[in-house]
Structures are given as C-alpha cells and as structure tokens.
C-alpha cells in the first residue's frame, strides 16, 4: 500500500479503461481467499487480499483523509460491507463493490470502496455464505446500490 500524492479523477478513468478492454470473469470460489482476522485486539472481522490489480496497482480514495492510495496484489484488507452497482463503474465487471478498511505500518486506518473484481472474494455464491466472526453471513452486510465510480460514493 502506498499513498499517492496526486489527487485526481484517475480512479474514474481507470475504471472506464478496464470496462473498455474487458476483464474476464470474477475469481471462482476455489480461488477465493477469505479468512477471519483481528485488525484490532478487540475486533474480529473478515479479510481478503487484493488480486487482479494491474502491475501498477489499483488506486482508491481514502474516505478518512481524502487522499489517493495505491493497493497492490497481495495487500490484505478488511471487508466491512458490500453493495451493488448497476452502472458497473465501481463494481467493475460483475457489479459488486466493497467497503474496505486497511491499516498502514504507522498504525493509521484507511477506508475506501473498491470493485469486487480486485478482491479475492470468489463468486457471490461463495462469499455471501461466508460466516463473519459474529456468526452472521457476509450477505447480511449489504449497504445498498450505487451507480457511479468508487471514488465518489456518498
């Protein structure tokens, strides 16, 4: 994870470019990588990794600092909730997007929205039934629908 100092509309451009070239199918359930994690000693969550990012990483807008960060394949993130994007501009290729959190080496928390395409969650039939540490299923964390790019979700 690396902070990008230039704050621009690059996320929207990248999403549009990926839609234009086509990205194939989302990862299968067999390729999924979900696990229970403890990002804080008093908190249990579900985590996954960034995958399918281009070699330069995928840019996201940190909703806490309003800065651009680059996430790379193999970076771990906590998934908090998911939504549906009928425009497929945030939920690239399969219309799902996630609200993610991650912590940097300095101990600071960051949060953003990212298309499911970039995460190792597997097929919806797999991740929707994955149990959270609290006992519920990920399908229960639905936050609603959004049409637009991930960097401007309200």
In this predicted structure, what is the pLDDT of residue 18?
Answer: 30
* Residue 98 CB-half CA count within 13 A: 25
Q: How far is CA 21 from CA 26, 92, 122, in A?
A: 15, 12, 22
In which band, very low, low, confident or very high, does the pLDDT at 43 lie, cut at 50, 70 and 90?
Answer: confident
The structure's pTM equals 0.78
State yes or no: pLDDT of 122 exceeds 80: yes
Domain boundaries, the chain: 2-152
Q: Which residues have CB under 8 Å from 146's CB, separation 6+? A: 83, 84, 85, 90, 97, 153
pLDDT in tens, 44-61: 899 999 999 999 999 999
Total count of residues recorded for the chain: 154
Contact 15, 89 (CB under 8 A): yes
pLDDT tens sequence across 85-114: 988 888 777 789 999 999 988 889 999 999
In this predicted structure, the answer to whether residue 24 has a pLDDT above a threshold of 50 is no
pLDDT of residue 30: 45
Of 26, 49, 34, 31, nearest to 129 (Cα)?
Answer: 34
């Amino acid at each position: 994870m690396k902070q990008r100092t230039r704050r621009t509309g690059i996320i929207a451009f990248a999403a549009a470019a990926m839609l234009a070239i086509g990205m194939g199918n989302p990862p299968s359930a067999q390729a999924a990588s979900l696990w229970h994690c403890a990002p804080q000693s008093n908190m249990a969550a579900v985590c996954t990794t960034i995958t399918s990012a281009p070699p330069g990483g995928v840019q996201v807008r940190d909703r806490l600092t309003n800065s651009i960060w680059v996430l790379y394949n193999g970076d771990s993130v906590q998934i908090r909730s998911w939504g549906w994007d009928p425009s497929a501009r945030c939920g690239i290729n399969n219309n799902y997007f996630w609200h993610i959190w991650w912590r940097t080496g300095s101990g600071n928390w960051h949060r953003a929205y990212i298309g499911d395409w970039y995460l190792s969650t597997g097929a919806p039939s797999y991740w929707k039934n994955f149990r959270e540490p609290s006992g519920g299923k990920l399908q229960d964390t639905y936050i609603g629908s959004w049409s637009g790019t991930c960097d401007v979700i309200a």
